[in-house]
Structure 1
């Protein structure tokens, strides 16, 4: 059986997205079809539209989603029809060198569905991050479905599928923020705001939010930032040092991903401190630092992939914290929209008007 559903498609580089009819096949071995209930509008989707990730157009956009499993293929035991799931792009293989060493959050051979979703005329679609969830139904690998408590509304639960998890994990997993630490977060959009929240959950004593947009700094304060720095008001490194006794922060999280912000992060950390890069650079960017400074400052320079999360471990735990009132995920949902509003949501996101627009089905 093939399902005809509405979905958001990017047909070419820089072209406005369109809502089109697509064809979703029945799940094959190890696959599942999910009825999408909500999907966040993530900056990664805009990267796909702009050709910043690849050129395998047309793209089926959307990946930050929650929904209900409606069908599974042969051999699937992880989930069953009726399960409420968050979709993830780290379906661990269990067999690669990272998995065999007990580090599945670094899995180097994550699974995607092998079945192909197409346009109505049969043109194959490339699903964003192997998911493609700006669609009423989508086909994924069963391991991309993580069961969570259905008491959490989908517009909130789906955010853990990408941006919020990336920020929380940058602080909790990659940065290993501990009680009493000082933390600076440069860039306080959706991912950076989540990093602020993660640092707060970890018990950081001082959390410094840095951004050019005063609105984002206000939001960061509401999520646990103890101090804010407006990036246009002066020397960001000096400001962070002044707020940390002249030493710099124990952990600095770059949620922008530009050479300028990474350089600020590098020099704004304390000796033997940690830099975490979670903002995604574009291919043409490069970085130059004196090698002596890398040596004499010590510490760790880390990149955070998906917040170094393990969906099967982290998603249910974080949803439980939300349901206990300890993780304010609702604060990230600025607006809920329909499929036809995704293009406008990209514009609002680019202008910094929203933390997250979420498509509700």
Structure 2
């Protein structure tokens, strides 16, 4: 067992604390990872606010990269010294999705069986089974994905959650390709990543929708060809207009990605898509939100698909190394997502900055 510094949320809404925690030696199928960088994600804030569940205290942090320090019995896919990005889809290989070869839909994912604890022995609940606002963390070995060790930790660690969710929503869930038009509603970290993924796939036009001028500017830097300020413009009408100018007869975008997670923006996405177009919901709604009461004839008459994207339908072993390679080649600007690098004592301040909307990601560097 080791003792390390970590960021813990003890109670709903209370400020986080940097405390000493106990990290067990890895057991069978487990690994201890020395964390190098970890992004501050909205999901961590949801945990702190009690919006995920009430299993306090939480060990926060999950968008992380680091170096494997030790592995337990039976671990063969990673070894001490490997540079890895952590993931929360350590596939089981045994559920129906895995057995039919669709590992990216596995919901029975593995976490470490042992618990990290506070000094007094109180068990911690690691965020998304990871808990990486810590000098070291214990995870299932399958949560470690080897990538190019020359890559910048602060940038590639973001593939562990938000950036992968956005890129995957476009490429994996939305099946965006060359010749398709895309609109993305909501240009936070996930939405801007969906724009970057659409650009990577060769889509055009790529339309960014938000109420914040700074976010729209960030979207342009990562591949948006058009922007819509939804506080002053009719989103559905403008998307139809832009797509109609590029593709004669188009009645909207081929793929509309909703990255806000609200009923009103989902309804905009529904009506902003072309006939037989696809809506992808990647924004995370709260449990009380409901799909708007759309006329069923509109659902039937427009055809296409209404999809949700969970973790960008990613398979970490397939997607993380590929995207890191594209980053290393200069074809995917992951550095653009890193607004600031901060210390482990600055997580609470980073949560406050989220409310002002002027950061894509604050990244804790250890």
Q: TM-score range by the shorter chain?
A: over 0.9
Partner of 1:352: 357
1:265 to 265, 269, 275: 269
Q: Separation in 2 of the partners of 1:15 and 1:300?
A: 41
Q: d(CA) in 1 for partners of 2:156 and 2:231?
A: 34
2:280 to 276, 283, 289: 276
**Structure 1 residue 339, shift from structure 2 partner:** 0.8
CA distance in 1, matches of 2:14, 2:295: 41
Distance 1:18 1:163 in 2: 24
Q: Taking structure 2 as the reference length, what is the TM-score of the superposition?
A: 0.97
Q: What is residue 11 of structure 1 aligned with on the other side? A: 10
Match of 1:243, SS state, is helix
Tell me by how many angstroms 1:297 deviates: 1.0
Name the structure 2 match of 1:335. 340
- For 1:156, the equivalent position in structure 2 comes to 155
Q: Encode CA deviations 1:31-62: one digit per residue, 9 max, x unaligned.
A: 00000000000010011111111110000000
Q: CA deviation at 1:119?
A: 0.7
The SS at the match of 1:205 is coil
Is 2:135 the partner of 1:131?
Answer: no
Equivalents in 2 of 1:15, 1:346: separation in Å? 12
Runs of 4+ in 1 over 6 A off after TM superposition: none
What TM-score do you get using the length of structure 1 for normalisation?
A: 0.99
Q: Give the superposition deviation at 1:234.
A: 2.4
Q: How is 1:61-100 mapped onto 2 (pairs within 5 angstroms)?
A: 61-100=60-99
Q: How does 1:193-272 map to 2 (within 5 A)?
A: 193-245=192-244, 247-272=251-276
Instruction: Specify the alignment match of 1:299 in structure 2.
Output: 304
Figure out how many residues of one structure are paired with residues of the other and give that number. 360
Distance in structure 1 (CA, Å) of the matches to 2:226 and 2:357: 20
Residue 32 (structure 1) aligns with? 31
Structure 2: unaligned runs, 5 residues or longer:
245-249
Give me the whole-angstrom Cα distance separating, in 2, the residues matched to 1:203 and 1:153.
Answer: 25
1: CA distance between counterparts of 2:57 and 2:38?
A: 19
In structure 1, runs of 5+ residues without a counterpart are none
Q: 2:355 and 2:200 mapped to 1: Cα distance?
A: 28
CA RMSD of the aligned region, Å?
0.7
